[in-house]
Chains A and B, each alone.
Chain A
Amino acid sequence: NAGVTQTPKFQVLKTGQSMTLQCAQDMNHEYMSWYRQDPGMGLRLIHYSVGAGITDQGEVPNGYNVSRSTTEDFPLRLLSAAPSQTSVYFCASSYRGPAEKLFFGSGTQLSVL
């Protein structure tokens, strides 16, 4: 009964470091997505995937990479972290797309110093 699992929950990086935020779902959902949540900005879509091997950019993709080698996993990579990437990151999935109920993970709070 795991749903959408995100790791880590908290992370502090120095400017220029790289890291990967992990997201896994066990519901056999085809659609997965990454959002960032900033105060007063709501949630903004970074990247999304409609199935294994298929990814596309959202509203704010710069500085982030994704891949989807399996249905279950959708990692988000920060290649060279910047203070502007300090945010709370949410992974979300659904069976076919955002027309259906999105299931959200509990979030990763990232600070870039």
Chain B
Amino acid sequence: GNSVTQMEGPVTLSEEAFLTINCTYTATGYPSPFWYVQYPGEGLQLLLKATKADDKGSNKGFEATYRKETTSFHLEKGSVQVSDSAVYFCALRSGAGSYQLTFGKGTKLSVIP
């Protein structure tokens, strides 16, 4: 089956620091990767996604490039803010026609002023 591995947290950064959260996966077919974010006390929200190899998803200053050759979809942001403190989940849909989304374990990010 599919699996998603993301870097373990928690991660603590100072405001304006650079953020990278690694995500790699194993899957059959043509997978589609996603990043979801969960703010304290809320449900998950889609942050960004990619639909084909070498696609770059971006939103709110976050970026991730779908690298098929390394089966990775690492999340980056050049300058984090306190408001970015949340839990970030990498997720994968295994391919066209799949109705299941496989999530990583989540990485908790805390940004301090």
Contacts and interface: CB of A to CB of B under 8 A. Distances in A.
7 contacts: A33-B101, A45-B101, A59-B100, A90-B44, A99-B51, A102-B36, A106-B42
Nearest to B104: A42
A44 interface: yes
A43 B98 CA distance: 17
Given A40-B105, A105-B43, 13 more contacts: A31-B99, A42-B105, A43-B103, A90-B43, A92-B43, A92-B44, A98-B93, A98-B100, A99-B32, A99-B96, A101-B46, A102-B46, A104-B45
B44 to A, nearest CB: 5
B58 to A, nearest CB: 15
Contacts of B103: 35, 42-44
Interface of B: 4, 32, 36, 41-46, 49, 51, 89, 93, 96, 98-106
List the 3 shortest-distance A-B pairs measured between CB atoms, nearest first.
Answer: A104-B43, A98-B101, A42-B105
Given A40-B105, A56-B99, A102 B44 contact: yes
Given A40-B105, A42-B105, A58 B46 contact: no
A48 B93 contact: no
Interface residues on A, range: 20 to 34
A43 B44 contact: yes
Contacts of A42: 4, 89, 103-106
A36 to B, nearest CB: 11
Nearest to B41: A106
A41 interface: yes
Tell me which of A90, A98, A101 has the highest count of chain B C-beta atoms within 10 A of its own C-beta: A98
B48 to A, nearest CB: 10
B105 A102 contact: no
Contacts of A98: 93, 98-101
A99 B100 contact: no
